[in-house]
Structure 1
């Protein structure tokens, strides 16, 4: 693996980001054949300027070797790899499941799931936050939204981990398990879709099958892609948001004490976690034309990585950017992206994090790390979190 993606760097990429923003804010990574953009304004431009940066994988000679393998693994996620007008149609249809009213209606059930997940661990005073709580919570929520059995969540975990890790193909870590996982996941969802065509249920897959806008129904490929995206993105990002929030609060006891004294700070604290330890560190784009940015010329067809994790620590945008401050205001982070591809699931992720943290803080008093062993970073350089977080608390 490239020295840029060692476990040490994945655990704490922020000093490297600081150096890159100062010295090489737009940088061509020869080994991976892609350009990296590190400053806030440039990252926001790459993410939002769809006229010059495509969300597709591109077919230029400069992008070919960089994108082949990851594209195979992620080719199903059509809503994030298409440009208008198709993206506009897809987003309009699937966004109906994520209206403020629809998301708010999920809060009682999310709270119930969160409490049920904690119940078995209260007597022991110990829990692995990732394995026992922050992983299963969003998976159960997504499974129920889609109308599929939550008992299949171990399969979901394997599939989503492999698909997220498939991005490592870019840095020379191709893994046939990633493609196999994607094929298994698609076969699983095809079976569910076939059943819903015959016997619709009160779930998201049935709603998507019935959805129609301007006589344009979603194709099975589109539905399959959305199910895959929702499972992977809805699982990994929310798992890491909750885990990162608890880890960061434990590392900053003064901020944790502020939050315990004033629970109304919880939404602001979540926004600061999103900025300070962004669950998604990077997004890919393809240059549609030759582009001047940050004093560099990016050739047409080039793959470009917008480093969200770096942008959210940019001192030019955030005062004391490397300080964790749960009262930060304003906080214009771009943890959920920017522009037409702003994360559809952001309201759900925020709700799950708010409910989860409220339950954790209420039910796990005097929370602390169970040991001081080195934490292992989550798989893949695109997501940012830890694989395991053993905790202890009073009971």
Structure 2
């Protein structure tokens, strides 16, 4: 099938290969949880498509590397917030300049190499405790028993939130994710806003404590900025809450993916044990190949033509970084896990002014986890036919929701 001139390439009208689920705004049955085959087919045949959206403007998908990168680096055209509106909450990923610039500077102050290096010992101590417990048990659900507690406790400490409150904060964070999803035309829940407001009230009280203590945590930096009049109390609470939510969800899924690679690539664990550079290289390759954030949603401030297809002003555009990261024109053999490849161009942490501010912390947590796992584990195996459950494809972050594994210890 060839599109006629001016025909809009809607997903449901394309000649998808037999057995391949068409792309859709909402993944109703979980068929789009890992849509890398669809991304590859689109890159080669229809690099820009549209999808009908029942709750707003049409949603477009852009899948080729050069076009995705160009969109990420053009915030004046590809806006984070809808035209003529202001986000209700100070989630930095949903703001544009000048407010985005003003708010993001506080993350930049705290997420610097020196500050990140200072938390490495604490991250390693937590990782060792959790990994030793998991290995001694012979395995289990790697997500709930290892990845979630490691990332939650780490980001909670960085944000200045008490460890004893982490179980409650995890529940709150799920509602915050649903609240963010609502702003991106994704499924949410009726009580997402109410529960998120409860969480933000808790965070605001905690920021008062951090300020009084003179805390040097990221939460302490934000608290000082609030008390110094550089931001409002609401902005300070929302920024800290966003930090907590965004700082654990994607890292949790990436750790799950890395263990999947250890199962799929039998030589990987030995390489991680014997090559000091391998853990950091493996993290970058996992972010490229199975990054937890598949797309960046933008609002067009003007009409653009992308790969020969005109997209009208005001439409929603999904810049599909997961598709771009497997573009054959940039990455040789992109569907192969190769930690020795040059990953300097991957878009797994975004690009431009909206690149992930917490990337250094994510890299640190994952590198340390790999170092300590490789010192203790001889082999991972899937535990059962249904060992792997992937998050539904309409979620903000995509990756393992459950990963049952058996562990063979080195000792």
Compared CA separation, residues 167 and 102, structure 1 to 2 (3 A): closer
1:47 to 72, 90, 95: 72
2:266 to 226, 229, 253: 253
Count of equivalent residues: 382
* Residue number in structure 2 paired with 1:63: none
* Residue number in structure 2 paired with 1:346: 359
Question: How big is the shift at 1:11?
Answer: 3.5
Compared CA separation, residues 150 and 162, structure 1 to 2 (3 A): same
Distance 2:163 2:279 in 1: 28
Deviations 1:241-291 (A, max 9, x none): 111111122112244443344242221111110011011111111111111
SS at match of 2:390: coil
SS at match of 2:385: coil
- Greater relative contact order (Cα < 8 A, sep 6+): 1
2:124 to 97, 111, 115: 111
Residue 125 of structure 1 contacts residue 392 of structure 1 at CA under 8 Å; is this kept in 2? yes
Distance 2:240 2:396 in 1: 20
2:161 to 148, 151, 164: 148
Map 1:295-374 → 2, pairs under 5 A = 295-373=308-386
Map 1:261-276 → 2, pairs under 5 A = 261-276=274-289
SS at match of 1:155: helix
Distance 1:317 1:248 in 2: 22
Deviations 1:355-386 (A, max 9, x none): 01111121222222222315221254321211
Distance 1:344 1:232 in 2: 13
* Residue number in structure 2 paired with 1:193: 207
Distance 1:374 1:363 in 2: 22
Q: Bigger shift: 358-367 or 167-176? A: 167-176
Distance 1:359 1:212 in 2: 38
Deviations 1:18-67 (A, max 9, x none): 1111222111111352111111111111211012111113359xxxxxxx
Compared CA separation, residues 115 and 256, structure 1 to 2 (3 A): closer
* Structure 1 unaligned residues grouped into runs of 5+: 61-70
Deviations 1:94-142 (A, max 9, x none): 2111100100111110000111222333332223211011111121111
RMSD of aligned alpha carbons? 2.6
Residue 72 of structure 2 contacts residue 78 of structure 2 at CA under 8 Å; is this kept in 1? yes
Residue 172 of structure 2 contacts residue 195 of structure 2 at CA under 8 Å; is this kept in 1? yes
* Structure 2 unaligned residues grouped into runs of 5+: 1-20
* Residue number in structure 2 paired with 1:205: 219
Residue 250 of structure 1 contacts residue 256 of structure 1 at CA under 8 Å; is this kept in 2? no
Distance 1:171 1:201 in 2: 37
Distance 2:41 2:387 in 1: 24
1:25 paired to 2:47: yes
Distance 1:208 1:171 in 2: 29
